[in-house]
Each structure stands twice: as structure tokens, then as C-alpha cells.
Amino acid sequence: MRTLPEGLRSTYLDFVENRHRVWEARQAGLPAPWSDDPVLQGHKFTNVFRVLDYGSQFLLSMLEEDLDERETLARCFLYRHTGRPETWQFYEVLHGHYPRIEDFPELLETWKEYRGGTRRVTRNAGSAKAADSYVFDRPIFTSAYLVFPQSQVPGTDKLESIIALATRLFGPEDVTPAWLATSSPAERFRVLQRNPGVGDFMSMQILTDWGYSRFGADDENRFVVPGPGAIKGAKALFPSWKPSEVIRWARAELLTCPPVLPLPNGGERVPSLMDVQNTLCEFSKYVRFMVQEKNYTFTPAHPGAQPSPVVPSAYL
């Protein structure tokens, strides 16, 4: 068993810097390996900037549609509960559009049909896009969010549970009016979090996704609630500190020589409190992998040339 270095705080800062260099190297079209760190070479870690992750980029593309506030919030809500772009692409290929609230009953049946195997489908003939054939063989959900409404009840169908929750919160118990009546991200967080079946972690993720929309604001430095992984990462650095204190310490340290996200208007963005929260979550994994004897070779899910990132208008 390998031992951890004593200077974990400098290890954290190095991890953040080196992980962002991986993104920069891939954007530049350089071949692997993109780091000489064996842990980064061997394992998957999300980007330093949350918005750069594939799932966030996909959601941004779906938020470009002409959606009102209610539909936008509902899309953020349901997408983050599934988290897998292919699930949504399957529906779009079959129906020619991404699902809206009125489509939730049909969506449930479509996703039931989708799960559990490989499926070749051809795009709906009424779509403006080319009628190409696609193969889908991935599950509906990512492995990131294991807790879901009624997950403690044996035999509960996760898909039915989540669709029922979304239907309730954007139907009979519509949360949109309360959401729009708020004046701060903390209040918006509470609008979601106070509903049975919606936990702190998911509420924070949906709140951040809302900030990517044309109705949102750049609130990522105004409010953050650390998730379970970030709490573990924070405890690895400062066992006696509150996780929120570690997040602010980490951001202050990163600002001395920050990773930078270039923006289309010629500006630059440095990690937000939400980004730092994510890095602490990934650092908890990094620490765990550091002590493993066996090295792995990471194969990216999206190899080859990387597209230029899309950023929310609130960033500009």
C-alpha cells in the first residue's frame, strides 16, 4: 500500500493545476498522455471548471431552445437527475425534439423502452436534422447520484420515481412561482431542497445549471453547498475545519495563480466557489487512487479533436 504525502495541501493545488492542463492539452489537439501524473493518466476526473464537463456542455445546448422559465427549470431539474446526454438524445432522435413538461408521460414510456440493452434507431422523419441511424446501448442514469426519491423503499423503480417527482413539482405542486419570487441563490436552493425527494446535493446542482440559462445569473461565487465528495476532500485537507471554510481557503489559494478559462469575448474566468467545490470532490477520489498499488490507463469517452467550449452568457 502506498502512503500519502505529508503536504496534502500542496498536493491539492498541484492536482487542480495539472487537471486543467489536461483540458488545455486536449483542446490544443495534443496526443495522450496529457499529464505525467500517473493518477491523472489512469483515472477519470471532471474538469476544474464544471461548465466544461461534457454533461454541462450538452445541457447548455438544450437550454438554447426557446424555453420559458418553467420549462427551463424543469429541463435543468430532470436532466440533472438523469445526467446522461445519450438518454435525452434517444428521445430527440425518436420524437424530433427534446422533451418538455407536457411530454413527461410519453417520456416515461420512451425511456422504459430505451433502458436495458442496445437499440438502433433512425431519426424521426419530421425532424429538421438528417435522418441518420444511431445506436444507443447505455443506461438511463449515470452512477453519480445513487440516492433518488423513495430509494430507501425496496422495489422502487428509479425511473418511475424520478418522472413522478418531476411531474409533481412542475404540475400540481409547481415550484416555478416560488422559484421566480426569490431574490437570492440561497432562497432558490431552499425552494427545491424543502421538497421531499430533493436533497441538498441535487438542489445545488440544479441551481448551478439554472445559472447557465438565459434567465440565470453568475451566482457561483454567491452561494455554494458542498456535496458529500467535497466534504471528504475538505476533511482530507483540514480535518477540523468546516467544509465551507475549506472551499473559501482553496479558492483564495487558487487565485494566487489560477487556472484560467478563456472566454469568447477575450476575457478570462477563474474558478468559482462552485468550481472549487467540484475540485474538492475530485480530490477526494484522487487521494484514494494515490494509495492504490495498481495503475490504470484512462480511455476518454470522447477522444479526438475537442470542440470549442460553449459558456453561459452570464459569464461574459
| pLDDT tens, position by position, 129-146 | 655 566 665 677 776 655
**For the chain, what is the total number of helices (H) and then of strands (E)?**
13, 4
Residue ranges of the alpha helices (H) in 213-310? 228-237, 243-254, 273-290
Name the one residue in this structure whose C-alpha cell is 438502433.
120
Q: Where are the domains of the chain?
A: 85-140
What pLDDT score does 293 carry? 76
Mean pLDDT of 209-228: 97
Helices 85-95 and 69-82, packing angle to 10 deg: 120
Burial of 125 (0-12, 13-18, 19+ CB in 10 A): exposed
pLDDT in tens, 272-302: 999 999 999 999 999 999 988 777 888 898 9
pTM: 0.91
